[in-house]
Structure 1
Amino acid sequence: MSRSKKQTRAPKSMRKYVFDSIIIRALREHSLFAAGGPGFLVLVTPDGYLPSEFRSSVIDQLYDDDRFYRSDSVGCVLVALKDKTSKFEDEYSECSKRERVIAVIEKGVELPPTIQLAADLVIHIPPITPDDLKAAARAVVRRPMTDEEAHTALSYPREHLWAAFRPMRSISESMRRLGEVRVPLLAEEVDEVKMRSAPETPLLADMHGYGPAKEWGTQLATDLADWKAGTIDWSDVDKGIVLSGPPGVGKSIFARALAKQCDVLLVASSLGRWQSRGHLGDLLKAMRADFDRARNNAPSILFVDEIDSFGSRESFSHDNANYSIQVVNALLECLDGLDGREGVVVVGATNNIDRIDPAITRAGRLDRHVEIPLPSVADRIAILSQLTAHSIPVSDLLPLGPLTRGLTGADLAKAVRDGRRLARRERRQLTLEDLKTGLPEGTKISGEHRWGIAVHEAGHTIVGTHLGYGTYLGTNIADVVRPDVKNQPGGAAYFDIPRVARRDRQFYLNCVAVMLAGLAAEKLYLGDFSDGAGGGEESDLAVATRIATFSEANLGMGASFLHSNAQTDQELEKLRLSDDRLKDRVEKILTDQYERAKCILQSRRVLLEMLATELDATGFLSPDRFTELEKNLAVSSPLESQIV
């Protein structure tokens, strides 16, 4: 029995009919699967939809009546943003060998590499349209619904919608009931309600963790003020930017803080919101209305969330390609503006910069791209301090640095909310222990493990300062680590290396020596080294190997002037495997610089022990303390300080 025949069975509710229709349309992008064949599909929900809403319809489509699939031959995986990242892989592993599998993920969930490789196709589920409601009304309620009724109905929460529309109840009665429960708001009114109910957004200048994006935003505020005052032309102002970064880093909050910093109106929207207005014509009308609103209130900022959802015209090949091309073309027209968009700065946000049509980011449109990284440890502490209204001293928050590794601003905000909830329950002020309850559990570093890390980081410190690797900023070792974070360093020695400088072959050899100094220190003082220097792309061994290969194959500093375009670790690895002579030269550099680092440390063995003891006891070594210990050693053991 085909998919369309299944749809003809008597529908029990408008909700079931609508979601069945949406899933059937989505599956048509994979003709073999839609016809009942095997495969593994990933379905991405529209904005504001949960995977659980599609479960029943997805399960119906997994079974094919003609082939009589058994229950152990099909699989359904649902993953929401609130779920742990491991859930996806765990659930998929249970059904990876089944013939027909559908994974429904909430928009914003990042696909693990194994799932990306396994999936036959990633399909974006279309949102509910007025036509879907009208068709459901005819099939379930057995009554016609007008375009106006369908558009109005879609402005209500979906749970209200499904409750109101019941078999044998007239459309007008259902609409009356909906109207009595909740009055639908215009998009502008919804924005105003959200702004009133949301916590006060600080100025961008007072926020942390945004790096270059913050610098760009504060400069934009100055430029808009100057343009408004007539001291600069609009051609001197940046007209658009794309912000990229993982979910939760605060791209939407950045837009609000930017608008406040610039003291201008923020018009926020997305393709999903424009699509929710209905047909293509309604979508385009809503898009142009938002651009008009921004232009009429210039200077202003128009924020387009999930701008990658427009896709790239170069990759459109599905049945709705013409529809998608028209949507992208309309956005380009709005960005160019027949009447100009003077005074309107467009900010786009995305989790995947590679999926954006190149025409959107060309010169004159959104021609600047800034990546918002995960916040550094200093930023995370500052964010926590800000979120707690500075009620806990920053010095008390410092131990939370390792526990917050890899967390976004959204994760930190959730931890603070959880902590406040606990404090309210017990009728007291927020404490450090309350915050810890909302953070991942850590494992204390102590004993032999801590001493080994101290020796390792002392090695980096001595060789780095001895070779003039950069300006020494300090060394620390962590009190706790998170078992759930792979390749988490237990400590680090920090050096500030000038971005612009003359760098010869000796500079790169020094870099390799510093990277391998931790291993050399462990071997020299402990008799062997642990696995702490390897295991990840930013590990000591990975960085040292990368630098050695780069100097030989890309920079002309080795046995040949031949240049390779290899950049990534994977490309460099292939290069080494295909050229035994290059591999031997890289191995020789690593071996020679390891021995060189060990020789330096052998001559400073007493200092190595002193620094390790200091780090083991206090967890931190400042530049001043390093200088003090070195001077004390020079007085007590003059031979120790001689240069090798």
Structure 2
Amino acid sequence: MPTVSDTLKNEHSDTIDFLAAEFDSETQTTDARSKAKDEYLTVPSDLIANLVLSSALGRNGRRLLKKGGPQVVILRVPTAAWVEPVSRAANRLSGYKAMILLAKTDQRRYEETVQAKVAHAFDRRVPVIAVSQNPDTYLPQMVCGAADLFVSVTAPAPRVMSKAIAVWCGSSRVVGLKAEDLSGLDLPDLVSCLRPGSTPDICIERLRRAACSRAVIRIHDDTPRLEDLHGYGRARDWALSLIDDVARVRRSELSPDALESGVFFGIPGTGKSTLARAAAKSAKLPLIQATVADFFAQGAGFLDSVIKQTNTWFDSLQAAAPCVGFLDELDALPNRATLSNRGADWWQPVITNFLVRIDQARASKSGIILLAATNHIERVDRALLRPGRFDRQFEILPPDEQGLIAILRLHLGSDLKNEDLTPVARLGQGATGAIAAGWIRAARQRARFAGRSLILEDLLAEVAPADLRPLEQVRGVAIHEAGHAIVAHRLGIPVLGATIMATQSASGSTRLRIAELTPTRAALEAQVMAALAGRCSDIILGQGASAGAVCDLRDATRIITAVHAQYGLGATISYMAPQDDVSYILAADPKLRAAVERDLQRLMVQTKGLVEANRASILALAEELLAKRSISGDEVALIASANPEAERLCDNL
């Protein structure tokens, strides 16, 4: 285990006495001291550390360090690899008369021993220099609290690294080194690029190659660039602006603490992880990925082990900074508000430590961008989502038609280059990017099995397999979905598309855009009528009511119950329970149940009137669905506009 300057192990002598014996004794000649002080020029790690420390301290800091006397100086370094070289550089600046505390891991268990050492140093008027990549976590509190000077020693800027290359190569001037040439490089990476006999240009080229390899760490070669992704809406726009901010930080036009962090959430398969990887790739930043499960799997799984693995991950972010830290399945870190007492006893330290480490990472101003993904944003602890931690949250929805076409093009590459993919996107409406990628893999396998190149029919066969249902059943589904689409359109609810393609959970579907955050009762009743329109079409135009409308009835009941029991838009303004508890409150309150039923029956009558008035439009749309299987919202509008009389009848309801 790393020690505190190796002074806390019994086999080593006291650091203060050791340094005094080595450098303050009369037996040490001036030449020996000079040789010891200049030796760092031949060791790349010490050369770089010396220049970086000198830059971080500034003139006043260097003067304070040389002054000596009983004082405590804390140096926060980027990673554990910097601890020893920076401590040697600090010792040189102090004239080799300081007590050095090295803390690469948690040393707070040695609180009493360190306290005695510090007191002894002060008695001898010797300064104490503590060096750690995470002083708040790894140094004893008495050292942090007694600090006279706290300095953050950051990774070298291009100017400092250029000077190191110049000194190493014996050159008067080095030009051409940029911030991106150093992105994500730790001290060992920098040292490996400074080799005997190298020229400045060779050193810079090595740095660029090293930064390039780090820029794709844990990113597969086929990860697309952010600019090539489609269907992500506001999340992609934010990520693009984040990349612009990274570029401004590299040009010193923006402070690193201005970089935001964010969470992507939505149903599985919408490409949340791909978006995070693409953002890192386009920003040319290292991507350090983890899950809460990793913190368990990489250690013993006990409480202290999980916390240590969490700290190790955050330390790795600091090591690679500037970088992107991506935590997948964020909801695996539980919400403290929903924990049982027993669960809280175990998880509280883990969550608290995680929050503290996020704060430290953001406060370090080292360019760490935190991204996360979850399928269940409602399960995430609210403390994680506040500004200063994960500042922004973006829902990733299934792509629209044009977005799905772009996703298909991306995964197809050079295949089907001249084919129109609109029919594929229409048939596959509502599909996620992951589903689209699965279609293409299966279509290519189909083509390989047939011994030929991929053709459009292969892809269509995967997106829309042959419908084995009886024709009358399919016609009934078409009438049902056409009723939903036409009535919703007449009521002013945007229709995104409709399909009669069966899934595991439905015989067909109609996609609507419900955008109102604070709907009126009229808007809510319009949603209910759109939901009831399928059943009404079954009764008036199809083969009669069936059990296929169960989901529609559930949604309609929830909305009307919310009108009376949550929204205060019924006869009372009492808030009774959330919408998820509809069945409970309806069973417990006969009067509420009767009021909901009256409203549903009234809206059912109105919806039947709309279906009767739009009979021609619904039947025409049903025929279109039978022919194409899927149609867009624009096609729904075109068919509806072909019957102006229906619009007038609808207006007079």
Instruction: Give the TM-score normalised by structure 2.
Output: 0.55
Distance in 1 of aligned mates of 2:343 and 2:489: 62
Q: Shift of the alpha carbon at 1:368? A: 3.7
Q: Secondary structure at the match of 2:579?
A: coil
**2:359 is the alignment partner of 1:336:** yes
The structure 1 residue matched to 2:325, chosen from 280, 287, 302, is 302
The amino acid across from 2:516 in the alignment is R
Equivalent in the alignment of 2:236:
214
Distance in 2 of aligned mates of 1:574 and 1:196: 48
Contact 2:257 2:367 in 1 (8 A): no
**2:558 is the alignment partner of 1:546:** yes
CA deviations 1:13-56 (Å, max 9, x no partner) are xxxxxxxxxxxxxxxxxxxxxxxxxxxxxxxxxxxxxxxxxxxx
Cα gap change, 1:261 to 1:613, in 2 (>3 Å): same
Q: Shift of the alpha carbon at 1:228? A: 4.0
**2:211 is the alignment partner of 1:201:** no
Equivalent in the alignment of 1:257:
278
Equivalent in the alignment of 2:493:
470
Contact 1:633 1:641 in 2 (8 A): no
Instruction: Give the TM-score normalised by structure 1.
Output: 0.56
Q: Shift of the alpha carbon at 1:201? A: 1.8
Q: Shift of the alpha carbon at 1:360? A: 4.3
Distance in 1 of aligned mates of 2:571 and 2:435: 49
Distance in 2 of aligned mates of 1:632 and 1:283: 65
Q: Shift of the alpha carbon at 1:589? A: 1.0
The structure 1 residue matched to 2:592, chosen from 576, 582, 604, is 582
Equivalent in the alignment of 1:562:
574
Distance in 1 of aligned mates of 2:216 and 2:284: 18
The amino acid across from 1:592 in the alignment is R
Distance in 2 of aligned mates of 1:328 and 1:312: 9
CA deviations 1:298-344 (Å, max 9, x no partner) are 2x21223345555577859889977x766555544432228724411
Q: Shift of the alpha carbon at 1:520? A: 1.6
Superposition pairs of residues 316-331 of structure 1, within 5 angstroms: 328=351, 330-331=353-354
**2:423 is the alignment partner of 1:398:** yes
Q: Shift of the alpha carbon at 1:198? A: 3.1
Q: Secondary structure at the match of 1:481?
A: coil
Q: Shift of the alpha carbon at 1:634? A: 5.5
Superposition pairs of residues 486-505 of structure 1, within 5 angstroms: 486=505, 488-492=506-510, 496=513, 498-499=515-516, 503-505=519-521
Superposition pairs of residues 132-211 of structure 1, within 5 angstroms: 198-211=220-233
The amino acid across from 2:359 in the alignment is D
Distance in 2 of aligned mates of 1:632 and 1:437: 32
Q: Secondary structure at the match of 1:428?
A: coil
Contact 1:381 1:398 in 2 (8 A): no
Equivalent in the alignment of 1:267:
288
Q: Secondary structure at the match of 1:365?
A: coil
Cα gap change, 1:383 to 1:232, in 2 (>3 Å): same
Contact 1:242 1:366 in 2 (8 A): yes
Highest CA radius of gyration, 1 or 2?
Answer: 2
Q: Secondary structure at the match of 1:555?
A: coil
Equivalent in the alignment of 2:529:
513
Cα gap change, 1:621 to 1:325, in 2 (>3 Å): closer
Q: Secondary structure at the match of 1:335?
A: helix
The amino acid across from 2:423 in the alignment is L
Q: Shift of the alpha carbon at 1:217? A: 1.7
Contact 2:476 2:538 in 1 (8 A): yes
Gaps of 5+ in 2: 1-209
CA deviations 1:141-184 (Å, max 9, x no partner) are xxxxxxxxxxxxxxxxxxxxxxxxxxxxxxxxxxxxxxxxxxxx
The structure 1 residue matched to 2:604, chosen from 563, 572, 594, is 594
Q: Shift of the alpha carbon at 1:292? A: 2.0
Q: Shift of the alpha carbon at 1:345? A: 0.9
The structure 2 residue matched to 1:523, chosen from 525, 530, 539, is 539
Q: Secondary structure at the match of 1:198?
A: coil
Q: Shift of the alpha carbon at 1:435? A: 4.5
Distance in 1 of aligned mates of 2:439 and 2:638: 40
Contact 2:479 2:619 in 1 (8 A): yes
Q: Shift of the alpha carbon at 1:595? A: 0.8
Gaps of 5+ in 1: 1-187
The amino acid across from 2:594 in the alignment is D
Q: Secondary structure at the match of 2:453?
A: coil
Distance in 1 of aligned mates of 2:556 and 2:380: 35
CA deviations 1:598-632 (Å, max 9, x no partner) are 12333444444444344444446667766766676
Equivalent in the alignment of 2:475:
451
Aligned length: 436
Distance in 2 of aligned mates of 1:330 and 1:527: 62
Q: Shift of the alpha carbon at 1:439? A: 7.1
Contact 2:263 2:371 in 1 (8 A): yes
Contact 2:493 2:512 in 1 (8 A): yes
Cα gap change, 1:431 to 1:196, in 2 (>3 Å): farther
Superposition pairs of residues 49-128 of structure 1, within 5 angstroms: none
